[in-house]
Structure 1
Amino acid sequence: MKRVRILHLSADFLWPAGDGGRLRSIAQLRVLSSLAEVDGIDLFYLCEEQISRDRRAELERAIPKLRVLEPVFHPVHLFRHRRYVPRVAALRILRGVPYMAGKWHSPSVRRALRRELAGRSFDVVWINGLGMAYYLPLVRELLPTARVVLDQHNVESDRFVDFALRQHGLRRLVAQAEARAATQYERELLRSVDAVAAISESDARAFRALAGVEPRVVPHVVPLAPAVKRDSNAPRLCYAGNLTWEPNLRGVDWFCREVWPLVRRRLPHATLDIAGAGLPTDAEGRQIAPPAWRVPGITLLGFRRDIATIYARSAVMIAPLFGAFGISIKLLEAFRYGIPVVTTLDGAWGLAITSGCEAFIESEPAAFAARVVDLLTSAQARAQMRSRAYSYLEEQHALSTAQTAVRELVGLRDERQASAVDLARLQGATVPA
């Protein structure tokens, strides 16, 4: 049996897995680790904060075969570290490097990669998202024989296209130019790696159209969580998501402004807990929220590691999202914990779900509010939706399906398929394509 060592490149320290991007990354690491042929995985990652040995050890305990390397600082959220903005601007103006690429430029990251890879060899380099793909030329130089896999969470250039469409005047012209540069950059990277992983069939179609590559869809693996006892009488909603992600931020703001007043009109005692990091904070560390969020019934919780507790005490989760990118991991997490969901059309993007079956899908305020009220006031409706969501996860997001896809991505033949092919060759038969 072929043995494989993997270098995993990530633009973020992935633990705790509190948002969709981290949840997806951890799920992929678990799939890689589950393959018998994989001997070990080294995680090279960027961070904006100190990562203690205890946190690194906690991640290593969570993922068998994983070795977490020393942290490497990089201003991932560029505009929180404004002294690095001129460097990115200079790359754009003087060398034509698009913002999508230039924000990852760092001599210190290059030095750290050279240091970690000196005298070492890996069979596969798994690039977790487009950010770390900026270092693909260096990876090819240092590990010329390694198979390079680009694991795409979204069609990243689509975000720039979407942003440009929402601008006006000169800002729109500038944004359109940046969107074209981002699209070309993503196209070139997709064509430069050995294999591309997509999170959904809709993303895979987009990558085919963009770059003429043939991605492999790896479904997001979602194990069912232990059943919990719920307070079925409390009209309590929750939201959980990364509020630095603009589609999330726009969705929550829309809900608070347009939908929440309608819900409260029908259910005056309804409450909403908003859990998620990303809002600015005051001198005392309290989140600064838009006015529409600071109304009766809404509580801002900030980042919570005990998200399962939030789910357990809630009757329904809202997942309003505007911007169809990748898939909404938060929906799958809600399904996992048995909490019914009301989402928008963009929130359901990339998932083979039907409104009224696994979740409610509505994008108009009145309809969204009506579905929220329907679920809050009917234990039977919640139970039926919970059961259908569980079935969906078992059918569409199983570990075995993901393992087959990942084996192909890293260059391992499926043993059953390999045996059939080898037998056919021994018998002199023509092997079907």
Structure 2
Amino acid sequence: MKILILSTKIPWPARDGGAIATLNMALGLARKNCQVTLLTMNTGKHYFPETQLPANLRDQISIRSVNVDTKIRPVRLLLNFLFSSYPYNAQRFISKPFKTALENCLAEHDFDIVQLEGPYLLYYIPSIKGKAKIALRAHNLEHCIWKRLAERESNPLRRFYLKKLARRIRELEIKILSEIDLLVPISDADSMGFDQLGHALPVMVIPTGKDITNYPVNENEGRILLFFIGALDWGPNQEGLDWFFREIWPEIRYRWPGLALHLAGRNPAYYFNGRNLPDNVRLEGEVEDAIEFFHHHTVMIVPLLTGSGIRIKILEAMAMGKTVISTTIGAGGLGAMHGEHLFLADTPAEYIRILENLQTRKDPIQKTGMKARQFVKENFDILVLSEKLISFYKEQLV
């Protein structure tokens, strides 16, 4: 089977959730004997020279990148807001060079499936129509993220803009459902959300997969070594950390003054610009090796208040046997059980109660960590999920 994957950002190095989801599935399909071509935008925010991609990666996947300027420009944003019904989030990814590269790629190869990694690739669907089946691999239900951000925004002008943006993205998601042939959400919750938008498409839920052999487990003595890892320029992460530092961290500092939080993620200046680090928070910045960072810590916090899809970093932490404390939204789509595979905390009191339990008894850290790893192994193996997706595609090609 020949599959063309379109992406709005080059998925290397695979450090954030979107990059990991795109790359792992591409590799999984290739290892199941599909001929995989990845045509990706190479943006300033995520730029990586195509010539420097690892040889072992290029041996498995044919990768082509196109430089695309997606920088947010205030004048264009304002004009879009006033005179367009198209969401600015999607307009930024409209590129004539990328469209030309796509059309050339389609002229050179007969693909069975063109897999879109997200709805912001809607503009390119007319170039694909009639040449292959079009599948949308939806990493999130995008309009829900922006709707929740709007609901939590205190600035009236910003809240007005975010509400309007959320409505536009919802209309875009409805539009793309009418243009594609197949829908591949990454969680049951997102699948139900797409159902509510109205469509009659064949659907297969395929979570983000992991190769668990890449995630070694290190024994720990039950010590609490708190950590957070995630893109610090992503709105939901910023919102969640604001809540955590405002509502939870002061009480943690009061009860356990020796406890530190190690914070890792790209572009910390986006979040900490003009702010002081809270006491006992150690800023690591963007780490070169996330697995090495996980290795030195034991308890991961995921204080997300907004989001959909699946949090890739939770899967990685669980695969390494780490204890995860997450909001219900943060752990959404995983299917993991509270107290069995991870801990759910939606209020400051719940966070403190869980930490008290972990402080007084070391066995929950060890037991939940091992059960978490087994859970990932049984439910998120990338080769099993890739085989499932291939079978789905084959059924639709008959």
**Normalized against structure 1, the TM-score is what?**
0.82
CA 1:219 to 1:238, structure 2 compared with 1: closer, same or farther past 3 Å?
Answer: same
CA 1:348 to 1:308, structure 2 compared with 1: closer, same or farther past 3 Å?
Answer: same
Where does residue 152 of structure 2 map in the other structure?
166
Letter in 2 for 1:268: P
Return 296-305 or 107-116, whichever deviates more.
Answer: 107-116
CA 1:219 to 1:96, structure 2 compared with 1: closer, same or farther past 3 Å?
Answer: closer
Assess if the C-alpha contact under 8 Å between 1:33 and 1:63 holds in 2: no
Please state whether the residue corresponding to 1:72 is helix, strand or coil: strand
CA offset at residue 346 of structure 1?
1.0
CA 1:54 to 1:230, structure 2 compared with 1: closer, same or farther past 3 Å?
Answer: farther
Picking from 273, 290, 295, the partner of 1:288 is 273
Where does residue 180 of structure 1 map in the other structure?
167
Please state whether the residue corresponding to 2:165 is helix, strand or coil: helix
Deviations 1:310-342 (A, max 9, x none): 211112111111114112212111101111111
Picking from 66, 69, 72, the partner of 1:74 is 69
The question of 1:125 aligning with 2:114 is answered: yes
The question of 1:43 aligning with 2:39 is answered: yes
CA 1:226 to 1:161, structure 2 compared with 1: closer, same or farther past 3 Å?
Answer: closer
Assess if the C-alpha contact under 8 Å between 1:197 and 1:409 holds in 2: no
Where does residue 7 of structure 2 map in the other structure?
10
Distance 2:90 2:377 in 1: 38
Picking from 186, 201, 206, the partner of 1:218 is 206
Assess if the C-alpha contact under 8 Å between 1:218 and 1:406 holds in 2: yes
Letter in 1 for 2:313: K
Return 389-398 or 316-325, whichever deviates more.
Answer: 389-398
**Normalized against structure 2, the TM-score is what?**
0.89
Assess if the C-alpha contact under 8 Å between 1:218 and 1:402 holds in 2: yes
Q: Matched residue pairs, number?
A: 394
CA offset at residue 359 of structure 1?
0.6
Picking from 368, 371, 389, the partner of 1:388 is 371
Where does residue 188 of structure 2 map in the other structure?
201
Listed as ranges, the matches of 1:211-290 within 5 Å are 211-212=198-199, 213-224=201-212, 225-232=214-221, 234-280=223-269, 288=273, 290=275
Structure 2 gaps of 5+ residues are: none
Distance 1:71 1:377 in 2: 54
CA offset at residue 256 of structure 1?
2.1
Structure 1 gaps of 5+ residues are: 419-433
Letter in 2 for 1:199: I
The question of 1:351 aligning with 2:330 is answered: no
Assess if the C-alpha contact under 8 Å between 1:316 and 1:375 holds in 2: no
Aligned Cα root-mean-square deviation (Å): 2.7
Deviations 1:333-372 (A, max 9, x none): 1101111111111111112122111111011112202313
Letter in 2 for 1:290: R
Where does residue 110 of structure 1 map in the other structure?
99
Identity rate, percent? 26
The question of 1:326 aligning with 2:326 is answered: no
Letter in 2 for 1:222: K
Listed as ranges, the matches of 1:14-29 within 5 Å are 14-29=11-26
The question of 1:190 aligning with 2:177 is answered: yes
Please state whether the residue corresponding to 2:337 is helix, strand or coil: coil
